Structure 1
Amino acid sequence: MENSLQSCIIHLFCFVLLANASEFGVEPDECEETRCGDDGPTIKFPFWLKGQQPEHCGYPGFELSCTEDDYTMLELPHSGKLYVKDIDYYMEQRIYLYYPDGCNDPRLVPNLTSSPFSFSYHMYKYTFFNCSTYKDSSRFGVMLIPCLNSTHHYQIVALDSYADASYAPQSCWKMYDSETNPSFWNYYGDQNYILLQWNSPNCKICYANGSRCIRAEENTGTSETLCLPKQKRGSPTKLIGFIVEMVYMQAHSWWYPINRPSIKVAIQMLEGEGDDLKIPPNPFESTHSMNQSLIVPGRRSHVTLSVISESE
Structure 2
Amino acid sequence: MSLFLAIFIIFHLLHSTKGQTDDDFFKICPPIKCGDEGPLIRFPFRLDSQPRSCSINTTLLKYDGDGDGYELSCSGNTTLLNLPWSGNFTVTAIDYLYHTITIKGGDSWSKCPLQGFLSLNFTSTVFFPLKVSLVSCPRNSSWIIPDKVVGPIACLSDDPNQSIYAASGFLSVDVLPDICEKYSKVDLWGIGDHFDCTFACVIDKLRATREVKLGYVSDCYTCEEKGDFCGWNQTMDTMVCLQSK
What is the TM-score of this pair, normalised by structure 1?
Answer: 0.45
Matches within 5 A, 1:150-165: 159-162=165-168
Aligned to 1:112: 122
Residue 38 of structure 1 aligns with an amino acid whose one-letter code is D
Tell me, which stretches of 5 or more residues in structure 1 are unaligned?
A: 1-21, 132-138, 163-175, 232-312
Shift of 1:126: 2.5
Shift of 1:178: 4.8
Aligned residues of 2:38 and 2:92 also touching (Cα < 8 A): yes
- Alpha-carbon distance in 1 for matches of 2:126, 2:149: 27
Superposition RMSD in Å:
4.1
Q: Which has the larger radius of gyration?
A: 1
Aligned residues of 1:48 and 1:63 also touching (Cα < 8 A): yes
Aligned to 1:193: 211
Shift of 1:208: 1.1
- Alpha-carbon distance in 1 for matches of 2:35, 2:232: 26
If asked which structure has higher relative contact order (CA below 8 Å, sep 6+), I would say 2
Shift of 1:74: 0.9
Identity of aligned residues (%): 27
Shift of 1:192: 4.8
- Alpha-carbon distance in 1 for matches of 2:220, 2:87: 26
**Among 66, 69, 93, the residue aligned to 2:74:** 66
**Among 91, 100, 104, the residue aligned to 1:98:** 104
Residue 114 of structure 1 aligns with an amino acid whose one-letter code is S
Closer, same or farther: CA 143–80 of 1 in aligned 2, 3 Å: farther
Closer, same or farther: CA 94–38 of 1 in aligned 2, 3 Å: same
Tell me, which stretches of 5 or more residues in structure 2 are unaligned?
A: 1-19, 57-67, 140-146, 169-180, 192-201
What is the TM-score of this pair, normalised by structure 2?
Answer: 0.55
Q: Does the residue aligned with 2:223 lie in a helix, a strand or coil?
A: helix
Residue 214 of structure 1 aligns with an amino acid whose one-letter code is G
- Alpha-carbon distance in 1 for matches of 2:127, 2:166: 23
Q: Does the residue aligned with 1:180 lie in a helix, a strand or coil?
A: strand
**Among 178, 186, 199, the residue aligned to 1:181:** 186
Structure richer in strand, relative to its length? 2
Aligned residues of 1:45 and 1:58 also touching (Cα < 8 A): yes
- Alpha-carbon distance in 2 for matches of 1:183, 1:29: 37
How many residues get paired?
Answer: 176
Residue 159 of structure 1 aligns with an amino acid whose one-letter code is Y
1:54 paired to 2:71: no
Matches within 5 A, 1:4-83: 29-51=27-49, 53-59=50-56, 60-68=68-76, 70-83=77-90
